[in-house]
Amino acid sequence: GTASSPAANHADATLERDAPSPALPSRTAPPLVHSILECIGNTPLVRLHNIERSVGLRCHLYAKCEYFNAGGSVKDRIGVRMLVEAERAGRVKPGDTLIEPTSGNTGIGIALVAAARGYRCIITMPEKMSEEKVNILKLLGAEIVRTPTEAAYDSPESHISVARRLNAEIPHSFILDQYRNEDNVLAHYYGTAEEILAQVPDGRVDVLVAGVGTGGTITGCARRFREGGGACTVVGVDPVGSLLAQPDALNEAGVHPYAVEGIGYDFIPQVLDRSVVDWWVKTDDRESFLAARRLMREEGLLVGGSSGSALVGALRAIAQLGWDQEENGKQVVVILPDGCRNYMAKFVSDAWMERQGFLEVPAAPQAWEQYP
Ligand code: PMP
C-alpha cells in the first residue's frame, strides 16, 4: 500500500475532478462538425423557474435562447437558409457579392455564412446600431456602409435604398432581402418552431411571445404552432416609436428613435403577416433593458435588449389572461433573439443606464419591475 506517492495522488485528484457529479445531469458532447454552419439552430429552451417564482406566475414560462447560435442571434438561421436556397436555385455562387440592409444581426448571420462559403459581403446599417456589431462584421470580412438612423426607409440615404444602389452598381451582386424573402419565414417554420414543439412538454404552446422586426420569427412560428388546429395565442411585441402594432391607436406616439435594437420599423415588412398576431404589446426602452438585466441576474441568461422587450410582453399578456392568479398548466414560450455581447457598452453598463435615467424608480413602476 504505497498509494500516497505524488503521482498517484495527482491521478486520484484528476479522476475525482473528471468524474461525473451526481448533482449534475450528464451531457453528451455534440458530434464533430465540418463547418460552423452546422452550429446554427438546435438552441436550448429553458424554463424560467426563478422568474415564475419571483413574479408569482401560475403558468409555465419557457425561453428559446437564440444567443446560442454560432453568430449569436436568431438571424443566423435566416442567413444560412436564405443563402443555401439562393444557391440551390442557381441565383448565387461562391465568389459573388452579397449585399444586405440590416440592423446588424442579419448582417452578422450573412457575413458568417459568407465567410464560411466564400462570398464577398457588404452590409448597409443605420448609425444607431452598436459599435460591437460593426467590429464583429469587420472581422467576419464584411464591408460596412453606415446610413443615417433618421433616414425614412424610402429616402435615398436609408440603409435599404443604399443597398439597392450598390446592387445596381456591383456586378454579380445579390440582395437576399430579409424583408421580402419567404425563406426568412421558413427558417422559423421549419427550424425555430419545429424545435420548440419537440422541446416543450406535450408539444403544446398555449402562448407565443416574440418581438417583431421583419416578422419572420413570429409569422413562421405562429403558422407552425397553429397547424392541425392547435390553439396558440400569439403576442407581438413592438417598441414605442415603431408602427407595426395593431390597432393603429397603439402607435399614437408616432415614429421616433428608440434604443432597443432589432425590433420595430417605420414600414410594414412584406414577410410580416400581421393577421397571425392576436395581441400587440408596446414596450419602451427603460422597461425592456431592466427586464433584460433581470433575465441575466435571475436566470443567468446573457441576453440582449429585445429579449427584455419580449419578457415584458410575456408578463403583460400573462397578467391580462389572469395566469398570475390561478394555478394552470398553461405553457408560454418567449423568444430571446440575441445575447448581451452586442451591447456591452450600452444597457449592460450601469453607467450607460444611469446616463439614460433608466435606473431611477418611476412614480408608478410596473408590478414586476425591480431596481438595483
Ligand atoms: N431582436 C433582435 C435583436 C433582432 O436582431 C431581430 C431581427 N431584426 C429581432 C429581434 C426580430 O426578429 P424578426 O426579424 O424575425 O422579426
Q: What is the pLDDT of residues 53-63, one digit of tens each?
A: 999 999 999 99
Nearest to 153, CA basis, from 103, 198, 117, 107: 103
Ligand 1 in contact with 331 (CB < 6 A)?
no
The confidence band for 14, taking pLDDT boundaries of 50, 70 and 90, is: low
Provide the pLDDT for residue 358: 96
Question: Can 75 be counted among the known catalytic residues?
Answer: yes
Q: CB–CB of 209/332 below 8 Å? A: yes
Nearest to 255, CA basis, from 246, 247, 244: 244
> Which residues share a beta bridge with 123?
100, 144
Ligand 1 in contact with 43 (CB < 6 A)?
no
Do you find a cis peptide bond into 247, omega within 30 degrees of 0?
A: yes
To test ligand 1's pocket by mutation, which of 66, 263, 272, 303 has the most ligand atoms within 8 angstroms of CB? 263
Q: CB–CB of 67/338 below 8 Å? A: yes
Please state the ipTM of this predicted complex.
Answer: 0.99
Extract the C-alpha cell encoding 7.
503521482
Stretch 312-334: mean pLDDT, rounded? Answer: 92
To test ligand 1's pocket by mutation, which of 64, 82, 105, 182 has the most ligand atoms within 8 angstroms of CB? 105
The better pLDDT of the pair 344, 18 is held by 344
Ligand 1 in contact with 216 (CB < 6 A)?
yes
Ligand 1 in contact with 237 (CB < 6 A)?
no
Stretch 249-262: mean pLDDT, rounded? Answer: 95
> Which residues share a beta bridge with 107?
none
Q: Is the pLDDT of residue 357 over 70?
A: yes
Name the residue type at position 347: F
**Helix or strand run (H / E) with residue 146:** strand 143-147
Q: Which protein residue's CA is at the shortest distance from atom 12 of ligand 1? A: 213
Tell me how many degrees the CA angle 23-27-29 measures, rounded to the nearest 5.
150
User: Rounded to the nearest 10 degrees, what angle do helices 305-321 and 285-299 cross at?
Assistant: 90
User: Rounded to the nearest 10 degrees, what angle do helices 105-117 and 75-88 cross at?
Assistant: 50
Annotate 286-353 with three-state secondary structure. Answer: HHHHHHHHHHHHHHCCCECHHHHHHHHHHHHHHHHHCCCCCCCCCEEEEEECEEHHHHCCCCCCHHHH
Stretch 16-31: mean pLDDT, rounded? Answer: 78
Ligand 1 in contact with 192 (CB < 6 A)?
no
Q: Is the pLDDT of residue 116 over 70?
A: yes
Name the residue type at position 127: E
Stretch 91-112: mean pLDDT, rounded? Answer: 94
CA pair distance 335, 63, nearest whole angstrom: 6
Contacts by residues 202-206 (CB-CB < 8 Å, ≥ 24 positions apart): 202/331, 204/230, 204/331, 205/230, 205/232, 205/331, 205/333, 206/59, 206/231, 206/232, 206/233, 206/330, 206/331, 206/332
Of these ranges, 13-22, 26-35, 148-157, 217-226, the one predicted with the greatest mean pLDDT is: 217-226
Buried/exposed 117-148: b ≥16 CB within 10 Å, e otherwise:
bebbbbbbbbebbbebbbebbeebebebeebe
Nearest to 113, CA basis, from 75, 169, 144: 75
Lowest-pLDDT range, 15-29, 205-219, 280-294?
15-29
Stretch 303-315: mean pLDDT, rounded? Answer: 98
Q: How far apart are the first and last CA of the chain?
A: 57
Provide the pLDDT for residue 103: 75
Q: CB–CB of 209/113 below 8 Å? A: no
The confidence band for 46, taking pLDDT boundaries of 50, 70 and 90, is: very high
Provide the pLDDT for residue 7: 53
Stretch 233-245: mean pLDDT, rounded? Answer: 98
In the reported structure, the alpha carbon of residue 13 is separated from the centroid of ligand 1 by a whole-number distance in angstroms of: 47
Provide the pLDDT for residue 12: 59
Provide the pLDDT for residue 29: 83
pLDDT averaged over every residue in the chain:
92
Q: Is the pLDDT of residue 2 over 50?
A: no
Q: Which of 64, 75, 133, 330 is catalytic?
A: 75
Ligand 1 in contact with 130 (CB < 6 A)?
no
The confidence band for 364, taking pLDDT boundaries of 50, 70 and 90, is: confident
Extract the C-alpha cell encoding 34.
465540418
Looking from the CA of residue 342, the nearest atom of ligand 1 is: 3
Q: Is the pLDDT of residue 17 over 70?
A: no
CA pair distance 236, 81, nearest whole angstrom: 24
Stretch 286-313: mean pLDDT, rounded? Answer: 98
Q: What is the pLDDT of residues 132-177, one digit of tens each?
A: 889 999 999 999 999 998 898 899 999 999 999 999 999 999 999 9
Among positive and negative, which fits the CA dihedral 302, 304, 306, 309?
positive
Ligand 1 in contact with 102 (CB < 6 A)?
no
Share of the chain above pLDDT 70, in %: 94
Q: Which protein residue's CA is at the shortest distance from atom 1 of ligand 1? A: 262
In the reported structure, the alpha carbon of residue 252 is separated from the centroid of ligand 1 by a whole-number distance in angstroms of: 23
CA pair distance 118, 95, nearest whole angstrom: 6
Provide the pLDDT for residue 13: 56
208: phi then psi, degrees, rounded to nearest 5:
-110, 130
Residue 110 in 3-state DSSP?
A: helix
Stretch 169-190: mean pLDDT, rounded? Answer: 97
To test ligand 1's pocket by mutation, which of 75, 178, 340, 343 has the most ligand atoms within 8 angstroms of CB? 75
